[in-house]
Structure 1
Amino acid sequence: MAGPSAADVRSVFSLPSTPGPSQPKAPPATERARKPEGMSRELYSLIGQSAPTLVAQLAKPRLKQKPNLGGGGRAKWEWRSFQNQVRSDGLRLSHWVKAGTPHDAEYPFAQYNVQNTTYTYTQDEYTKFLVDKDWTREETDYLFDLVRQYDQRFYIVADRYEYPEGPQRSMEDLKDRYFSVCRKLVRNRPWSGDEGAKAQILSSYAFDKEREVMRKKYLESLESRTPNEIAEEEALFTELKRLEQNERRFKKERDELLRTLLGIESGLPDVQAEEEGITGTSQAESISAVSTKKTKKKVAAEPETPTSASASASYTTVSLAPPIPKKQSAKSAAYDALHCIHRTEVPQLTTATATKAAHQPVYLRSYKLPAPKSANAHKIAQVLGELSVSSSRLVMPTKDNCQKLEALLEAATALVETKKQVDKIDQEIRLAQERLGQGSADGDADADAEEDTMDVDEPIEEDGRAQSVASAKSGRSSRARRQSS
């Protein structure tokens, strides 16, 4: 085992490590690069010392520095007596203050001692404006002293109110007397400010005694309710809501029935009368069908009233279409004609509530062109192609052009349908002619055979009818030949 080296001995005796003459001096070790802040240890081990310069931007954000309250060193405090300037009794108390604070400095919390405005009155003012048969001057002075002492806290004032040989006063009586005196003083004293400020002060002293008493009685009655009374009130409230819903539903059904039966004579909105030259019978049938449908759907069966008969006898048809648009003025019509504006009425729903599906958003007129049926689309396009007209696109989709294209599509559709019916009828006629020609040839052959057979056999009388056995046989044989052929 090797013995201790010289370096070990020097370290034990805390001697400086001086290398010998034979030992070469070790080169100074390079200072190891420090890992930048904001970079993980694994990432730094991968990239080594060649860290990019953007690492400085990844540094962790520092928290907000704590405020320096007073700088360095410790603050010295002194126990010092003070007097609150707001107090009128001259009481002196003591508290801790910083050394160096002036002795005559104002108490800092005196600014928070805000007093309410207190009113005083003279004997002359009381005699002119404040006299009340239920209140004496001495009791009024006693009330104002308590309100001033307890800073207008009327719950405390009512609890401490004990005027000798005076009647029992409630808190509402005390508030009514105090606020009424203040209002009279503000109203009758000279006012140097604006009227708005005076009105605001008067409104701050407004008090309704009867309403306050009623409110407290109502609250007491609510608090003293039993569970049965609470359940009964809830049931009554639910019944009231149900009755309101039924009333709205009945009103809606009544209006719809009146619109259907009376029409323009019912006086209800959203009813339009159109004059048409139809017979009374068809008019009666249309109205009776609509009324029967409405009656079966929503109301019980009722006997027919003379109103429906009078409506059926008239020549005015009832339509639930949107109301007649209002007539435009001459100036508005000229403006619309100059700017090519066409005004249309938005259709109104007859139901009480408008759903999202019934809403019609804004659209282009060219998007509402009717599209032909898929079965006839090719033929209609072929017909329009012969006229050099495109059924899918208009260069100028104005109102007149769209109407003309729609009429052209309807005419082309009718033409294609008519052509289809004509071809079908021609085919049926051709098949019928072929069937009739074959049947006539077979009929001639059968007739010859029947004549030959009937000359041989004798007729047999049966139930008053003459029938030949040979003719029956010949008939069966002819049917058999016809089927075999």
Structure 2
Amino acid sequence: MAGASAADVRSILSLPNPSTAGPSQPRKPAVPAERARKPEGISRELYSLIGPSVPSLAAQLAKPRLKQKPNLGGGGRVKWEWRSFKNGARSDGFELSHWAKAGSDPNAEYPFAKYNVQTTSYVYSQEEYARLLEDAEWTKEETDYLFNLVREYDSRFHVVYDRYEYPSGPQRTLEDLKDRYFSVCRKLVRDRPWAGDEASKNQLLSSLQFDKERETTRKKYVTSLEDRTPEQVAEEDALFVELQRLEQNERRFKRDRDELLRTLLGIESGLPDVQVDEEGLNGAPQESKKRKRGGNAGADLDTPVSASPSVIALGPAIPKKAQSAKNAAFDAQNCIIRTEVPATTSSSTKVAHQPVYLRSYKLPTPKMTAAPKVAQVLGELGISHTRLVMPTRENCAQLEFLLEAGAALVETKKSVDKIEQDIRIAKARLDNRQSEDADGEGTGDAAPTPMDVDEVNDADADAEGEVDGRAQSVMSTRSTRSARGRRSV
């Protein structure tokens, strides 16, 4: 293997060539290329791909600032002390202790005492009990015992029922206790004078309602559900599945029935998506008989052919019977207005019944050119045609009549203005002609002036002009002027 030459060594080590570089020329140090600093908010890989050519991304991808932590300490150290307190909701003077801030008021009210909300306790007198609250199954002593328990246990009736032990009294159920308590409260509220409004009193009475029989029936039903055997649960599940199957079959039968009615009765079935066949019932069988006999297709061109072979054509629609007097009276009493479906329809598919719509949507609208003027006319009368406060049938009819009358008034005004403008133009032309005649007779000069040329052009532009109530054509005007010129010459 041949050894490497000096040129190869210098090339490998990036040394200058001594033949080209002299000793007088110093070697310049390599200047490192300036690299653009990566902006904040952009990853290093993304910036190496896009480079510094898109500086706007730095503002969009700025590093989000985290939410600063709240300063809960207030900036200083708080001193706490062990302090005793009393709860204002207690009436036994019981004291407890807790940690409190040293600077707070020691005699301040306990902050959690406000959550001790007591229910309203009803108290009755001997006179009220004798007049309103007497009951054959309840004595006054037992009623007092019940109200004391309810007041002591804060209307928690399950606890009241558990603690209820009236001596020498009958056995009471929870429903008996609730029914007696709420019945007494309702009678007291209803009989005593009420300081508030009637709505609040009714609301309080509704909150004191209790149906003893319904509550007893509900509990019996819940008990029967809990006492079911596994065989009874399986039987109920099977019955539920059978009920779902019957409902599904009923929906399928109804769908098949609708399809059959659409096919056989057509538009008279009263069902949507009806294919209307206007040829009648006798057209299709005759055409089939002709085809079976071998007749050509062009033998009878006037006989129509049904577009769909699956649709049976019917004859003319059977007229509906007149409405009876009983049905008419029922419709008048309940404000029912029935509309007849048109017998002939131009479309091949027509829904037999008219969908529900609002009367205000069917109001006619004037033309776009006359709409602002009609609105101005109705505005002068103080009528808003954009929205009816009570869009009854009579109001809609009156509004439709007003819109039609306003449109007719605007059209009439437009025609009157046009006719008045034509009359003014005709009078101006007549005055010009009379002045020309007076000037021609005085000077005897029949030479046409520039004004005459303009008038001639005006006469050529108008096909007919009305002068003194008579129609004068362009040819008659020209002949009259030519004769006047010859006479003057």
Question: Which entry has the higher C-alpha Rg, 1 or 2?
Answer: 1
